[in-house]
Structures are given as structure tokens and as C-alpha cells.
Amino acid sequence: MAGPLTGPLLVGAPTDGVLGRVREELERRGQAAAVLAPAAYARRVSVTIGGRTARVEPDVPLLLRSREPGADTAGAGAVAEALALAGALSASPVVNRPPLGLPAAPSSREAIDCLMSAGRMRPPLLLAERRSGAGPVDPAAFEQEPLPGPDGAEHGTAVRFRERMPPGWLYQKVLVVGDQCWLYHETVAAAPEIRRLSLETAAASGLAFCCLYWRTLLPEPGTGPLLLRLARVSAQPTEAELADMAGTAVSAVADLLLA
């Protein structure tokens, strides 16, 4: 029988390179940590609710990442429910703590829902969008983009149309961990505004560790305000996505888990 779970738990696919790096960082700081697949964690956690109190055992720091590949089986619903309930009710620090009633650790497809949720909370951030089947679309005004498939495939059968930006716009990627954020291009003149909106958007999406992608257009001085549109929410940034900020992200996530 497996021993008790006493240290920080990193829940996600065992092959997740980000989880591996976070575990190495925690161990470097003298904290033993374990990586558990979601199904394995669900089998070993219990939640007891009585009156207005709830008890999670083991109640240890958690980093919730993606579901394991192939989790869409007969028991996937019970696993997702266990992760969501334990993550929401744990008294210990939880990175990407799910709000009660919502799934834990968004999948690649659910990241689209994070984007739409952020847009509903802050409408000016989102480009006007239409989904396939919503009626005729003017190709001069909208660009076409495929949505992820239900199995996490990069391109599914559904398509969305996003309003075109004026010429000269640029992508800006932002890493958010807790109440800190880093722009991948700090030379942008509007960095303070992008940083502020990134923190607000991540909080509105319920994400303490994510990457945000903005479409930005910096006007000439005195010609108008910054044009800033949220294009993508990456709820599970990979090592490749974090790129040269991976070390910074891993260190900041470890700080949250040990807070």
C-alpha cells in the first residue's frame, strides 16, 4: 500500500515537463513532492462535508494541471469531480484552484471557455467573435481560426471568426503566476497597462499560472488609446511555450505552493 501523501502534490500527466521541473525546484528547496496522475490522486483523496465545514485529506499544497491522456473514459467524470472538489475546498495553497462547481485544470478545449469567460467579465478585451454556423461572415472583416477538437487535437471541425485588427498590430505574450506577471517583450511602451489587465484577466479566469496572448496596436503619440484585445488564454503552458521564462515560472509556482 502506498504511503501517506504529506508534501506538495503535482497533479497531471506524469510526462508533463513543467511538473517535473516544479518537483525538482521543490526538492532543491528541501521539500519532497510527488507527481500524480489525476486518477491516482482521485483514488487517494477524500472530502468530508458537514454543515458549513469541509475537510480534505490529505490537505497539502496542490498544483493542478491537465488531465491524463485518455481520461475521457467511464470514470472520467468521477475523477474530474474529485479534483474540482478537493482543489476548491483545500485549506492549503492550490495553484489554479477551481471555483466550486467548475472543472479542475482546464483542458485545451476548456481553455477556449476561459477566454470566453474573461470576455464576458471584461467585454472590451475580446475581439468580436462568431462561431461556425452562426450565419454568413464577411471575410474582409473577419479572419477564420479552427478550434481545438474534443480530444485535445490542435484542430477540430469547429471554426470561429475573429474581427480583423488594423494593420500593424503585434502579438504580446504574458506569463502570469499569482500576483506577478512578466511580458516576453518588456520594451513595449504600454507594458504597465498590459501587465495590469493580464493580472485582472487571469484572476477573472480563476488561473494562478497561465500565459495570456494579446493582440496589441500602439498608436502614434497623441493619436488615440492603446488597442488591446485578448486573443488566447493558455491554462496549461508547456515548457516550449514558457521558453526562456520557464525557470522564472517554475520558481514562482514553487513560491506559491510553499506560501
Cell of 46: 477524500
pLDDT at residue number 183: 94
Same domain, 132 and 152: yes
Same domain, 117 and 88: no
Cα 34 to chain centroid distance, Å, stands at 21
In this predicted structure, the answer to whether residue 253 has a pLDDT above a threshold of 90 is yes
The whole-number average pLDDT for the span 209-216 is 91
Contact at 8 Å (CB) between 150 and 178? no
Distance between CA atoms of residues 80 and 232, nearest Å: 24
Q: How far does the chain reach from its first CA to its final CA, in angstroms?
A: 30
Same domain, 84 and 154: no
Whichever domain contains 142, its CATH number is: 3.30.470.20
Read off the pLDDT band of 142 (50, 70, 90): confident
Same domain, 144 and 223: yes
Stated as kind and residue range, the H or E segment containing 10 is strand 9-11
Domain-located, residue 26: yes
Cell of 159: 471554426
Same domain, 224 and 207: yes
pLDDT at residue number 36: 92
Q: Which residue has the higher pLDDT, 147 or 231?
A: 231
The total number of structural domains in the chain stands at: 2
Domain-located, residue 145: yes
In the sheet that holds 129-131, the strands lie side by side as: 129-131, 159-163, 142-146
Contact at 8 Å (CB) between 42 and 79? yes
**In Å, how far are 164, 172, 196, 219 from 169, measured between CA atoms?**
10, 10, 20, 10
Q: Which residue has the higher pLDDT, 67 or 33?
A: 33
Domain-located, residue 3: no
The helix-helix angle for 17-28 and 246-257 (nearest 10°) equals 60
Distance between CA atoms of residues 225 and 59, nearest Å: 47
Q: Which residue has the higher pLDDT, 97 or 116?
A: 97
Range of the domain at 193: 110-241
One-letter amino acid for residue 8 of the chain: P
The whole-number average pLDDT for the span 124-150 is 70
Cell of 217: 496596436
Domain-located, residue 181: yes
**In Å, how far are 42, 82, 127, 199, 216 from 45, measured between CA atoms?**
5, 8, 41, 31, 44
pLDDT at residue number 225: 73
Same domain, 96 and 28: yes
Domain-located, residue 198: yes
Domain-located, residue 193: yes
Same domain, 123 and 214: yes
pLDDT at residue number 69: 44
pLDDT at residue number 215: 87
Same domain, 118 and 74: no
Same domain, 135 and 234: yes
User: 53-62, pLDDT tens digit by residue?
Assistant: 889 999 999 9
Same domain, 122 and 232: yes
Domain-located, residue 2: no
Contact at 8 Å (CB) between 239 and 17? yes
Same domain, 125 and 164: yes
One-letter amino acid for residue 155 of the chain: H
Q: What percent of the chain has pLDDT over 70?
A: 75
Same domain, 196 and 157: yes
Among 104-113, 132-141, 249-258, the range with the most confident prediction by mean pLDDT is: 249-258
pLDDT at residue number 108: 46
In this predicted structure, the answer to whether residue 33 has a pLDDT above a threshold of 90 is yes
Domain-located, residue 175: yes
